[in-house]
Amino acid sequence: AERFRYQFVEALRSQDPLSFKEKFRGLNVLLIDDLEFMHGERTEQEFDHIINSLLDGGRQVVVASARAPNHVERLNERMRSRLQRGLVTEIGTLDHELRLKVLEKRLAEKRANDPSFALSRDILALLAERLTESGRELEGAITRLYATWQYMRTSITPDVAETVIRDLVQGLEPRRIKIEDILRIISRHFGVSKGDLLSQRRHRSVVWPRQIGMYLAKQLTARSLPEIGRRFGNRDHTTVLHAIRKIEGELAGNPRLKEELEELKRILSH
Protein backbone atom coordinates (compact mmCIF):
# COMPACT_ATOMS: atom_id res chain seq x y z
CA ALA A 1 0.00 0.00 0.00
CA GLU A 2 2.84 2.38 0.79
CA ARG A 3 4.40 1.69 -2.62
CA PHE A 4 1.02 2.25 -4.27
CA ARG A 5 0.67 5.62 -2.53
CA TYR A 6 4.24 6.66 -3.35
CA GLN A 7 3.96 5.75 -7.03
CA PHE A 8 0.60 7.50 -7.32
CA VAL A 9 1.97 10.70 -5.77
CA GLU A 10 4.98 10.56 -8.09
CA ALA A 11 2.65 10.14 -11.09
CA LEU A 12 0.73 13.24 -10.02
CA ARG A 13 3.93 15.23 -9.59
CA SER A 14 5.11 14.25 -13.06
CA GLN A 15 1.62 14.99 -14.42
CA ASP A 16 1.37 11.47 -15.82
CA PRO A 17 -1.46 9.74 -13.90
CA LEU A 18 -2.50 7.69 -16.95
CA SER A 19 0.71 5.66 -16.91
CA PHE A 20 -0.01 4.79 -13.27
CA LYS A 21 -3.53 3.61 -14.13
CA GLU A 22 -2.22 1.50 -17.02
CA LYS A 23 -0.17 -0.64 -14.60
CA PHE A 24 -3.39 -2.09 -13.21
CA ARG A 25 -5.48 -2.39 -16.35
CA GLY A 26 -4.37 -5.91 -17.35
CA LEU A 27 -4.15 -7.49 -13.90
CA ASN A 28 -6.09 -10.64 -13.06
CA VAL A 29 -5.49 -10.27 -9.32
CA LEU A 30 -4.42 -7.24 -7.28
CA LEU A 31 -2.86 -7.98 -3.88
CA ILE A 32 -2.39 -5.08 -1.48
CA ASP A 33 -0.64 -5.52 1.87
CA ASP A 34 -0.37 -3.08 4.80
CA LEU A 35 -3.65 -1.33 4.04
CA GLU A 36 -2.94 1.10 6.89
CA PHE A 37 -0.62 3.04 4.57
CA MET A 38 -3.31 3.56 1.92
CA HIS A 39 -4.29 6.96 3.29
CA GLY A 40 -4.78 10.37 1.75
CA GLU A 41 -7.95 11.55 0.02
CA ARG A 42 -6.70 11.42 -3.58
CA THR A 43 -4.85 8.13 -3.02
CA GLU A 44 -7.97 6.50 -1.61
CA GLN A 45 -10.08 7.86 -4.47
CA GLU A 46 -7.67 6.39 -7.02
CA PHE A 47 -7.59 3.06 -5.17
CA ASP A 48 -11.39 3.03 -5.16
CA HIS A 49 -11.49 3.64 -8.93
CA ILE A 50 -8.99 0.83 -9.54
CA ILE A 51 -10.99 -1.57 -7.35
CA ASN A 52 -14.17 -0.76 -9.28
CA SER A 53 -12.43 -1.15 -12.63
CA LEU A 54 -10.97 -4.55 -11.74
CA LEU A 55 -14.15 -5.91 -10.17
CA ASP A 56 -16.25 -4.72 -13.11
CA GLY A 57 -13.90 -6.74 -15.34
CA GLY A 58 -14.35 -9.88 -13.25
CA ARG A 59 -10.94 -9.61 -11.61
CA GLN A 60 -10.08 -10.13 -7.95
CA VAL A 61 -8.79 -7.70 -5.33
CA VAL A 62 -7.28 -9.01 -2.08
CA VAL A 63 -6.34 -6.60 0.70
CA ALA A 64 -4.52 -7.40 3.95
CA SER A 65 -4.11 -5.29 7.07
CA ALA A 66 -3.34 -5.66 10.76
CA ARG A 67 -6.96 -4.81 11.59
CA ALA A 68 -10.42 -5.29 10.17
CA PRO A 69 -11.33 -2.57 7.61
CA ASN A 70 -13.74 -0.81 9.98
CA HIS A 71 -10.91 -0.40 12.51
CA VAL A 72 -8.32 1.10 10.14
CA GLU A 73 -8.69 4.64 11.45
CA ARG A 74 -6.38 6.28 8.91
CA LEU A 75 -8.80 5.43 6.09
CA ASN A 76 -11.82 7.61 5.47
CA GLU A 77 -15.29 6.31 6.23
CA ARG A 78 -16.14 5.72 2.57
CA MET A 79 -13.12 3.46 2.01
CA ARG A 80 -13.73 1.54 5.23
CA SER A 81 -17.34 0.96 4.18
CA ARG A 82 -16.24 -0.01 0.66
CA LEU A 83 -13.89 -2.70 1.94
CA GLN A 84 -16.41 -3.97 4.48
CA ARG A 85 -18.71 -4.93 1.60
CA GLY A 86 -16.24 -7.59 0.52
CA LEU A 87 -15.49 -10.88 2.23
CA VAL A 88 -13.65 -10.09 5.48
CA THR A 89 -11.82 -12.93 7.18
CA GLU A 90 -9.03 -13.31 9.71
CA ILE A 91 -5.63 -14.63 8.66
CA GLY A 92 -4.48 -16.97 11.40
CA THR A 93 -0.95 -17.99 12.21
CA LEU A 94 0.76 -20.60 10.04
CA ASP A 95 0.14 -24.18 11.15
CA HIS A 96 3.04 -26.56 11.75
CA GLU A 97 2.87 -28.16 8.31
CA LEU A 98 2.89 -24.83 6.52
CA ARG A 99 5.75 -23.55 8.67
CA LEU A 100 7.77 -26.61 7.63
CA LYS A 101 7.05 -25.90 3.97
CA VAL A 102 8.21 -22.30 4.36
CA LEU A 103 11.42 -23.48 6.01
CA GLU A 104 12.03 -26.08 3.30
CA LYS A 105 11.54 -23.46 0.60
CA ARG A 106 13.94 -20.99 2.24
CA LEU A 107 16.49 -23.75 2.77
CA ALA A 108 16.20 -24.79 -0.89
CA GLU A 109 16.85 -21.18 -1.94
CA LYS A 110 20.05 -21.10 0.13
CA ARG A 111 21.15 -24.49 -1.22
CA ALA A 112 20.59 -23.33 -4.80
CA ASN A 113 23.48 -20.90 -4.28
CA ASP A 114 25.47 -23.07 -1.89
CA PRO A 115 24.67 -26.82 -2.16
CA SER A 116 27.02 -27.70 0.70
CA PHE A 117 24.73 -25.97 3.22
CA ALA A 118 22.30 -28.42 4.83
CA LEU A 119 19.92 -28.63 7.78
CA SER A 120 18.52 -31.90 9.09
CA ARG A 121 14.82 -32.65 9.18
CA ASP A 122 14.99 -32.57 12.97
CA ILE A 123 16.30 -29.01 12.95
CA LEU A 124 13.59 -27.87 10.53
CA ALA A 125 11.01 -29.50 12.82
CA LEU A 126 12.56 -27.70 15.80
CA LEU A 127 12.32 -24.34 14.04
CA ALA A 128 8.72 -25.00 13.00
CA GLU A 129 7.85 -25.92 16.59
CA ARG A 130 9.50 -22.93 18.23
CA LEU A 131 8.82 -20.12 15.75
CA THR A 132 5.07 -19.80 15.37
CA GLU A 133 4.49 -16.09 14.80
CA SER A 134 5.09 -15.45 11.09
CA GLY A 135 7.08 -16.33 8.02
CA ARG A 136 9.52 -13.50 8.75
CA GLU A 137 10.86 -15.28 11.83
CA LEU A 138 11.23 -18.50 9.85
CA GLU A 139 13.12 -16.76 7.07
CA GLY A 140 15.28 -14.96 9.62
CA ALA A 141 16.14 -18.25 11.32
CA ILE A 142 17.35 -19.83 8.06
CA THR A 143 19.41 -16.72 7.28
CA ARG A 144 21.01 -16.78 10.72
CA LEU A 145 21.77 -20.48 10.58
CA TYR A 146 23.34 -20.07 7.15
CA ALA A 147 25.54 -17.23 8.43
CA THR A 148 26.51 -19.36 11.44
CA TRP A 149 27.35 -22.29 9.18
CA GLN A 150 29.49 -20.07 6.95
CA TYR A 151 31.46 -18.97 9.99
CA MET A 152 31.78 -22.38 11.68
CA ARG A 153 31.92 -24.61 8.59
CA THR A 154 30.57 -27.53 10.62
CA SER A 155 27.16 -29.17 10.67
CA ILE A 156 24.42 -27.24 12.47
CA THR A 157 23.31 -29.22 15.53
CA PRO A 158 20.03 -28.79 17.44
CA ASP A 159 21.94 -27.10 20.29
CA VAL A 160 23.50 -24.60 17.89
CA ALA A 161 20.10 -23.95 16.30
CA GLU A 162 18.55 -23.34 19.76
CA THR A 163 21.25 -20.79 20.56
CA VAL A 164 20.94 -18.99 17.23
CA ILE A 165 17.15 -18.55 17.44
CA ARG A 166 17.00 -17.87 21.18
CA ASP A 167 16.29 -14.16 20.90
CA LEU A 168 13.68 -14.80 18.18
CA VAL A 169 11.83 -17.15 20.52
CA GLN A 170 12.14 -14.77 23.47
CA GLY A 171 10.79 -11.98 21.31
CA LEU A 172 7.61 -14.02 20.81
CA GLU A 173 6.89 -14.42 24.51
CA PRO A 174 3.62 -12.74 25.48
CA ARG A 175 3.91 -9.21 26.80
CA ARG A 176 3.07 -8.91 30.48
CA ILE A 177 0.01 -6.70 30.71
CA LYS A 178 -0.42 -4.36 33.68
CA ILE A 179 -3.60 -2.77 35.02
CA GLU A 180 -1.98 0.60 34.31
CA ASP A 181 -1.81 -0.41 30.63
CA ILE A 182 -5.50 -1.34 30.67
CA LEU A 183 -6.48 1.99 32.24
CA ARG A 184 -4.47 3.87 29.62
CA ILE A 185 -5.91 1.98 26.64
CA ILE A 186 -9.49 2.13 27.98
CA SER A 187 -9.11 5.87 28.55
CA ARG A 188 -7.87 6.42 25.00
CA HIS A 189 -10.35 4.04 23.35
CA PHE A 190 -13.47 5.48 25.00
CA GLY A 191 -12.32 9.09 25.33
CA VAL A 192 -12.69 9.00 29.12
CA SER A 193 -10.02 10.37 31.43
CA LYS A 194 -8.21 8.08 33.82
CA GLY A 195 -9.45 10.30 36.63
CA ASP A 196 -13.06 9.59 35.63
CA LEU A 197 -12.39 5.85 35.51
CA LEU A 198 -11.07 5.95 39.06
CA SER A 199 -13.73 8.37 40.31
CA GLN A 200 -17.14 7.65 41.84
CA ARG A 201 -18.99 8.95 38.76
CA ARG A 202 -21.82 6.64 37.75
CA HIS A 203 -22.80 8.04 34.36
CA ARG A 204 -22.97 5.27 31.73
CA SER A 205 -20.30 6.99 29.64
CA VAL A 206 -17.91 6.28 32.52
CA VAL A 207 -19.38 3.13 34.10
CA TRP A 208 -19.32 1.08 30.87
CA PRO A 209 -15.62 1.70 30.06
CA ARG A 210 -14.78 1.08 33.72
CA GLN A 211 -16.58 -2.27 33.66
CA ILE A 212 -14.81 -3.29 30.47
CA GLY A 213 -11.51 -2.33 32.08
CA MET A 214 -12.25 -4.50 35.11
CA TYR A 215 -13.25 -7.39 32.87
CA LEU A 216 -10.02 -7.12 30.87
CA ALA A 217 -7.99 -6.86 34.08
CA LYS A 218 -9.44 -10.17 35.22
CA GLN A 219 -8.92 -11.75 31.80
CA LEU A 220 -5.40 -10.52 31.11
CA THR A 221 -3.69 -10.20 34.50
CA ALA A 222 -3.15 -12.44 37.50
CA ARG A 223 -4.55 -9.82 39.90
CA SER A 224 -7.22 -10.83 42.41
CA LEU A 225 -10.66 -9.21 42.46
CA PRO A 226 -9.82 -7.10 45.56
CA GLU A 227 -6.59 -5.91 43.91
CA ILE A 228 -8.42 -5.00 40.68
CA GLY A 229 -11.00 -3.11 42.73
CA ARG A 230 -8.28 -1.21 44.56
CA ARG A 231 -6.60 -0.21 41.30
CA PHE A 232 -9.94 0.96 39.88
CA GLY A 233 -10.59 3.62 42.49
CA ASN A 234 -10.62 1.60 45.74
CA ARG A 235 -13.74 -0.38 44.86
CA ASP A 236 -14.58 -3.62 46.66
CA HIS A 237 -14.39 -7.04 45.06
CA THR A 238 -18.18 -7.35 44.70
CA THR A 239 -18.18 -4.32 42.37
CA VAL A 240 -15.51 -5.97 40.23
CA LEU A 241 -17.42 -9.26 40.19
CA HIS A 242 -20.60 -7.43 39.13
CA ALA A 243 -18.68 -5.73 36.29
CA ILE A 244 -17.26 -9.04 35.06
CA ARG A 245 -20.65 -10.73 35.11
CA LYS A 246 -22.21 -7.73 33.38
CA ILE A 247 -19.75 -7.93 30.47
CA GLU A 248 -20.03 -11.72 30.27
CA GLY A 249 -23.82 -11.40 30.08
CA GLU A 250 -23.61 -8.78 27.32
CA LEU A 251 -21.18 -10.90 25.31
CA ALA A 252 -23.73 -13.67 24.85
CA GLY A 253 -25.83 -11.63 22.41
CA ASN A 254 -23.53 -8.84 21.31
CA PRO A 255 -21.04 -9.78 18.56
CA ARG A 256 -19.90 -6.17 18.21
CA LEU A 257 -18.86 -6.12 21.86
CA LYS A 258 -16.92 -9.35 21.33
CA GLU A 259 -15.12 -7.80 18.37
CA GLU A 260 -14.38 -4.65 20.38
CA LEU A 261 -12.92 -6.65 23.26
CA GLU A 262 -10.74 -8.68 20.89
CA GLU A 263 -9.46 -5.45 19.38
CA LEU A 264 -8.60 -4.07 22.83
CA LYS A 265 -6.79 -7.31 23.68
CA ARG A 266 -4.77 -7.06 20.47
CA ILE A 267 -3.78 -3.49 21.28
CA LEU A 268 -2.78 -4.44 24.82
CA SER A 269 -0.69 -7.39 23.67
CA HIS A 270 1.54 -5.22 21.45
pTM over 0.75, yes/no: no
Domain residues for 228?
179-268
Rounded (10°) CA dihedral 140, 143, 148, 150: -170
193 and 259 co-located in one domain: yes
- 8 A C-beta contact, residue 145 and residue 156: yes
DSSP states along 33-82: --GGG--SHHHHHHHHHHHHHHHHTT-EEEE--SS-GGG-TTS-HHHHHH
Would residue 90 count as lying in a domain?
no
Q: How far apart are CA 46 and CA 60, in angstroms?
A: 17
186 and 167 co-located in one domain: no
CATH number assigned to the domain comprising residue 41: 3.40.50.300
pLDDT, tens digit only, all 270 positions of the chain:
888 988 998 998 888 889 898 989 889 999 999 888 888 888 999 999 999 999 999 999 999 987 788 878 778 888 888 888 888 887 777 888 999 999 999 999 999 999 999 999 999 999 998 888 778 889 999 999 999 999 988 889 999 998 888 877 755 455 678 899 999 999 999 999 999 999 999 999 999 999 999 999 999 988 899 999 999 999 999 999 999 999 999 998 898 999 999 989 888 876
CATH number assigned to the domain comprising residue 135: 1.10.8.60
Would residue 261 count as lying in a domain?
yes
Q: How far apart are CA 216 and CA 182, in angstroms?
A: 7
154 and 220 co-located in one domain: no
Number of domains in the chain: 3
Domain boundary among 136, 171, 206: 171
- 8 A C-beta contact, residue 13 and residue 44: no
Would residue 91 count as lying in a domain?
no
